[in-house]
């Protein structure tokens, strides 16, 4: 009887051990699955966040690159210096943005006077650096030249002939770069006093005209 009880007890202990062993295995497996699921979700979330950050960085880079290009384009835009004379409120040299037109120059100079003949003005013409615009008075341009295309003379034009400083009038001389009415008058006085100019370099002997101005005028004037 005792032997039988021992056998039954041993079997019972074995069964309980198997039950605990299987239960422990199932619990461990479940915990592993839960941990794996949590890790997978965290990994997906991390990938999503990284993807968003990458997209944002890409957008920021493109925007920054566009801004730099725009700033570079703005920085490369140069100014020009243009002279305006004649029937204008404030005749002198003006600094304008590259691409400015005759109308912009006239506005910068305070507009034309009542004597100006606006029918002879090419308002839409694009200006170039070192050009001179003459605003003629009513009737003045017609008397000087019947060709309307020459009413506004641009000394920087490739088609323009050189001005003879030994024969030019005060008005013609005043159209030259850096030469206003006062210096044009001084050129004529020097010419009459010294029997004319022997060379273009003699312009440097005229009061108010320096070597830099002479260099600018060298290709625009002659003495013959």
Which is nearest to 187 in space by CA: 216, 167, 212? Answer: 167
* CA 56 remoteness from chain centre: 29
Task: State pLDDT tens for residues 94-148.
Answer: 999 989 999 999 999 999 998 888 888 989 899 989 899 999 988 875 555 444 4
Q: Which residue has the higher pLDDT, 173 or 141?
A: 173
pTM for the structure as a whole: 0.36
Please, what's the b/e burial string for 75-106 (b: 16 or more CB within 10 A of its CB; e: otherwise)? eeeeebebbbbbbbeebeebebeeebebebbb
* Whole-angstrom distance, CA of residue 144 vs CA of residue 134: 13
Query: Residue 155: pLDDT band by 50, 70, 90 thresholds?
Result: very low
The fold of 161-224 is: DNA polymerase; domain 1 (1.10.150)
The answer to whether residues 91 and 105 touch, using CB atoms and an 8 Å cutoff, is no
Task: State pLDDT tens for residues 2-23.
Answer: 566 667 667 767 777 777 677 6
Q: What is the mean pLDDT of the chain?
A: 76
Q: What percent of the chain has pLDDT over 70?
A: 62
Query: Residue 57: pLDDT band by 50, 70, 90 thresholds?
Result: low
The answer to whether residues 175 and 85 touch, using CB atoms and an 8 Å cutoff, is yes
Q: Where in the chain is the domain with CATH 1.10.150.320?
A: 161-224
- Give Cβ neighbours of residue 41 (< 8 Å, ≥ 6 apart): none
- Give Cβ neighbours of residue 60 (< 8 Å, ≥ 6 apart): none
Tokens of 48: 């999503």
Q: What is the mean pLDDT of residues 207-215?
A: 89
Q: What is the mean pLDDT of residues 154-175?
A: 76
Q: Is residue 179 scored above 80 in pLDDT?
A: yes
Query: Residue 154: pLDDT band by 50, 70, 90 thresholds?
Result: very low
């Amino acid at each position: 009887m005792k032997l039988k009880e021992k056998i039954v007890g041993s079997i019972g202990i074995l069964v309980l051990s198997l039950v605990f062993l299987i239960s422990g295995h199932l619990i461990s497996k479940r915990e592993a699955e839960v941990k794996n699921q949590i890790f997978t979700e965290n990994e997906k979330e991390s990938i999503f966040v990284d993807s968003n950050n990458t997209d944002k960085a890409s957008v920021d880079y493109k925007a920054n690159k566009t801004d730099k290009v725009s700033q570079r384009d703005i920085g490369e835009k140069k100014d020009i210096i243009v002279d305006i004379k004649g029937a204008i409120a404030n005749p002198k040299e003006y600094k304008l943005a590259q691409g400015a037109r005759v109308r912009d120059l006239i506005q910068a100079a305070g507009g034309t006077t009542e004597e100006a003949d606006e029918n002879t003005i090419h308002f839409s013409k694009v200006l170039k650096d070192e050009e001179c615009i003459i605003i003629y008075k009513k009737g003045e341009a017609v008397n000087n030249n019947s060709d309307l295309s020459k009413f506004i003379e641009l000394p920087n034009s490739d088609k323009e002939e050189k001005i003879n400083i030994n024969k030019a009038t005060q008005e013609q001389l005043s159209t030259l770069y850096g030469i206003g009415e006062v210096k044009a008058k001084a050129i004529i006085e020097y010419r009459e006093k010294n029997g004319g100019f022997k060379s273009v370099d003699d312009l440097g002997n005229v009061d108010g005209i320096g070597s830099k101005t002479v260099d600018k005028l060298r290709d625009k004037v002659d003495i013959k």
